[in-house]
Amino acid sequence: MTSPGDAAPVKPPPSFSPGVPRVASKSRYPNQRRDSSPSLDADLVDSRIRSPTPPLTATTSDLPIRSASPRAPSFRSSTPQLARSSLGSPVEGRFDGAEEIRSLVIRSFSPVVGVYASADTDELVRQKGFAGGFWELIRPFGENVPGKIVIRDSVGASRGWEDYGVRFVDLAGNSLTPNESSAGRGASLAQVEEVLEKQLGSTDDPLGGSLRPKDFLNFPTTSPLYKVFLRQLLSISSATPHETFRHPVASVIAISSRNTAPLETLRKLYADTSNGARRLPDWCHSEYLRYYVLVHDEDRDDIAESTKLYDQMKRHFGLHCHLLRLRSNQCVVTDDDSVQVPECEWLSPSERLSGRTEPLVDLDANGFYLFDSDIMAIKAFIRELVAQSVIPFMENRVAIWNDQVASRRRGISGRFMSMSRRWAGFGSSSRSSLTAGGASGNYDVAHGYYRPDVPEAVLRKMADFAFMLRDWKLSASTYELLRSDYANDKAWKYHAGAYEMCAVSMLLNPSAMGTKMKLDGIDQMFDTACYSYLTRCSDTPNALRCLTLAMELLKSRGGSAVESAARWAMRAMDLGLVGSIGQGLFSERVSACYAARAPVSGMNWGSRRRKAGMWSVFAADMWLRLGKPSLASAALEEAERLYADVLNADGSFPMPEMQTFIDNLRHAVKLEYLQARGLDTRDEAATAEALGTEETSEKLDRRMNRKSLIANPLDSGGLGPGQGTRDNDNAANDDFERA
């Protein structure tokens, strides 16, 4: 849950017109560390641990698609209520309402903490059933830090966050190796689409069950399948030079009580992360926090000896140390104090497709359970790491960089030096050999990045730190300070990232959205970022991320901003950035954007319910083409509800062509559903009986022979269900608009 101050989004004025974009155009942190107790609320932790989270597997049945509309008329739907079961999610039900997507976006930009453990530590953890060692053991628990994390912003005001988390990465692996090739970046989006296909086809009988009525007004505000898509899209980013969200802000260096030379091993591990085999790439800042952990074996080692060693560690390496007490025996499900390990929420698409996260039948043999004492110890360790070390370290770095670098750039002398360097080349002679193409700054054209010690890189890291600390006012002003420098140096990926994150920061900061000019400027920022990503960098994943964030954050603003949000979703579809499943999901989001537009207060105009209904019908047709009748059924239910204001007294559309289109689409959904269940749809009487309707064979025959705007699904010589021509789709679109 986010802070109460951000619970209610600030709505822009009703006079905003999203179609005319215009460009929109000092602080200090306290350095002292706060006292934060690592103790945990036992009841809170126990409730979070013992409530099993459903595995991330999905069925096509019971997939609620549409978000609730501002108005919900009560009438009986004529669309078949196909049996559906909800799509599981590791964090399903954590948030309710509009805050869920916003929190998902915020948590996707969490601090990254590297993990580097000694061989004896990894061996101890492997005995517990975790083949990946110490990193795999603690990774799921870092995504949700127990309790409230208090963070101070740039003016010294404190705010508590209950949804804070960190990402653990394995420094011994290749998680910090970016894939900069165009083919590799394009493959990431293909993997996202493959994950969605795998989710929809993860059961033997995805359409199981019988037709039954259901109150579709109780559907959640966002499709669970779309949340899987958004989570996967935000998980594909790897460490890159142009943004530092995936650069480690700290690293955990761990040894076990079995180590024969513990202090020497810790020094060796530190040397490996500084200038050895585990050092960060040249474009990463080398100054990050080291946190030392001693893993004590409760089953075999003496706690007195481990405590003595822990005291020595604190004398040699400082206060950033922790004694983690774990049992080395493997926990089985039959144990009285066994607790299931939560699944990682932020798994990349490649990890999901690799098979490592498949549901296992024998969980006991594969180490997916831990003792309750181990769970409590790991949660206490992670809370102490984040609250007492990582957050104060980031606050201190931001304060130093803001005072030493940013304040100078904001002052008159800094502006003068920037103009001199831009127009006269003053102060850049020592770096002239590294630049080309008219650039006169610190950008290394040969390697394609800024060195981590130059002001442009330091300010970008400061802005990213402020964003991860959720100080969006400071991050927005810093990104805005950098945009002209990146454009002048022709560092186009840096340029696109600065525009994107500046707009995102302003949308996340409620106080930054008070005027029409700023909302117009945000549209221009997203447009510039998308253009740079696609045209200058050929970076489709970041372009899709930019458009998706624009759509979701503008939609959360409400008012006239929702129309701009719908336009960005349509832009992503027009550019072909999403696959077939993504097209259906984005059609639903366009419908949700238009449905969120409330009418003018006291009047009956200003809403976009008919547009929302039209896009919901388009989504139903797309799902039908993909052979997903339950998803198409849910989309048709939402369309009927949205069109309720224009229906006749008998529930029919005023235009016969539109009624024909809806009837044939609804009928194609029913037939596709029966065919998926293996029923013979050529037997008309059996088909009518199976559908559970009051239709007779004569009515069914008349409907099947009715002229349709989509192809007849029973005509062997025609197209399949939902595969109408483009002319028919355009005609239907015109009919819907006239309605």
- Give the amino acid at 459: L
Give the CA distances from residue 143 to residues 80, 93, 129, 467, in Å, rounded to whole numbers and listed in that order. 40, 16, 21, 17
Adjacency order of strands within the sheet including 112-117: 167-170, 112-117, 248-256, 289-297, 321-326
3-state secondary structure of 53: coil
**Residue 664: is its pLDDT beyond 70?**
yes
Among the listed residues 63, 224, 60, 80, the one whose alpha carbon sits nearest the alpha carbon of residue 640 = 80
Question: What integer pLDDT is reported at residue 174 of this predicted model?
Answer: 58
Residue 223's pLDDT band (cuts 50, 70, 90): confident
pTM beyond 0.85 = no
Highest average pLDDT, of 583-597, 652-666, 667-681, 725-739, comes from 583-597
**Mean pLDDT (whole number) for 501-508:** 95
> Half-sphere exposure of 54 toward its Cβ, with a 13 Å CA cutoff?
14
Highest average pLDDT, of 102-106, 236-240, 336-340, comes from 102-106
Question: What integer pLDDT is reported at residue 592 of this predicted model?
Answer: 93
Question: What integer pLDDT is reported at residue 102 of this predicted model?
Answer: 92
CA distance 254 to 266: 8
- Give the amino acid at 672: E
Cβ distance 43 to 168 under 8 Å?
Answer: no
In which residue are the tokens 């039959």 written?
334
**Residue 115: is its pLDDT beyond 90?**
yes
Report the alpha-carbon angle 227-235-136, nearest 5.
Answer: 110
> Half-sphere exposure of 23 toward its Cβ, with a 13 Å CA cutoff?
7
- Give the amino acid at 712: N
CA distance 106 to 2: 10
CA distance 100 to 1: 9
Could you report how far apart the first and last alpha carbons of the chain are, in Å?
41
Output the DSSP codes for 171-184.
TTTTTT----SHHH
Give 264-298 pLDDT, tens digit per residue. 999 999 999 998 888 999 999 888 999 999 999 99
3-state secondary structure of 251: strand
Buried b (16+ CB within 10 A) or exposed e, 628-658: bbbbbbbbbbbbbbbbbeebeeeeebeeeeb
The average confidence (pLDDT) of the chain is 75
CA distance 390 to 322: 13
- Give the amino acid at 520: D
Q: What is the dihedral of CA 213, 219, 222, 228, to 10 degrees?
A: -60
Give 721-738 pLDDT, tens digit per residue. 333 333 444 444 444 444
Give 520-536 pLDDT, tens digit per residue. 899 999 999 999 999 99
3-state secondary structure of 289: strand
Fold of 111-174+247-352+367-412: Rossmann fold (3.40.50)
Instruction: Give the start-end residues of each E strand in 98-257.
Output: 112-117, 149-152, 158-161, 167-170, 248-256
Question: What integer pLDDT is reported at residue 516 of this predicted model?
Answer: 60
CA distance 528 to 300: 60
Question: What integer pLDDT is reported at residue 79 of this predicted model?
Answer: 52
Question: Could you give the maximum distance between any two Cα atoms of the chain, in Å?
Answer: 89
**Residue 696: is its pLDDT beyond 60?**
no
Question: What integer pLDDT is reported at residue 95 of this predicted model?
Answer: 36
CA distance 693 to 213: 11
Question: What integer pLDDT is reported at residue 489 of this predicted model?
Answer: 93
Question: What integer pLDDT is reported at residue 356 of this predicted model?
Answer: 56
Residue 671's pLDDT band (cuts 50, 70, 90): confident
Q: Which of left, alpha, beta for 166 (phi over 0: left; psi -120 to 50: alpha)?
A: beta
Contacts of 136 (CB under 8 A, 6+ apart): 125, 130
CA distance 689 to 695: 8
How do the domains of the chain map onto residue ranges? 111-174+247-352+367-412
Buried b (16+ CB within 10 A) or exposed e, 182-199: eeebebbbebbbbbbebb
3-state secondary structure of 296: strand
CA distance 89 to 564: 29
In which residue are the tokens 């579809």 written?
573
Highest average pLDDT, of 52-56, 153-157, 598-602, 692-696, comes from 153-157
Cβ distance 193 to 164 under 8 Å?
Answer: no
**Mean pLDDT (whole number) for 620-642:** 90
**Mean pLDDT (whole number) for 439-464:** 89
**Residue 80: is its pLDDT beyond 70?**
no
β-pairing, 321-326 vs 289-297, is parallel
Report the alpha-carbon angle 449-452-456, nearest 5.
Answer: 75
- Over pLDDT 90: what percentage of the chain? 48
434-443, 448-457, 491-500, 606-615: range with lowest mean pLDDT: 434-443
Question: What integer pLDDT is reported at residue 320 of this predicted model?
Answer: 96
Residue 678's pLDDT band (cuts 50, 70, 90): low
Output the DSSP codes for 355-404.
TTTSPPS-TGGGT-EEEHHHHHHHHHHHHHHIIIIIHHHHHHHHHHHIII
Give the CA distances from residue 596 to residues 16, 335, 519, 555, 573, in Å, rounded to whole numbers and listed in that order. 16, 49, 18, 8, 20
Cβ distance 666 to 636 under 8 Å?
Answer: yes
3-state secondary structure of 646: helix
Give 367-394 pLDDT, tens digit per residue. 478 999 999 999 999 999 999 999 999 9
Cβ distance 450 to 457 under 8 Å?
Answer: yes
Report the alpha-carbon angle 716-720-724, nearest 5.
Answer: 120
3-state secondary structure of 303: helix
Question: What integer pLDDT is reported at residue 334 of this predicted model?
Answer: 76
311-325, 618-632, 684-698: range with lowest mean pLDDT: 684-698
The gap from C-alpha 148 to its chain's centroid, in whole angstroms, comes to 21
In which residue are the tokens 């600065």 written?
498
Token code pair at residue 398:
């931001």
Buried b (16+ CB within 10 A) or exposed e, 440-457: bbbbbeeeebbbbeebbb
Residue 652's pLDDT band (cuts 50, 70, 90): confident
CA distance 121 to 738: 69
CA distance 705 to 700: 9
Give 405-450 pLDDT, tens digit per residue. 988 887 655 554 555 555 444 444 334 333 333 344 789 999 999 9
Report the alpha-carbon angle 399-402-405, nearest 5.
Answer: 135
Residue 601's pLDDT band (cuts 50, 70, 90): low
CA distance 736 to 739: 5
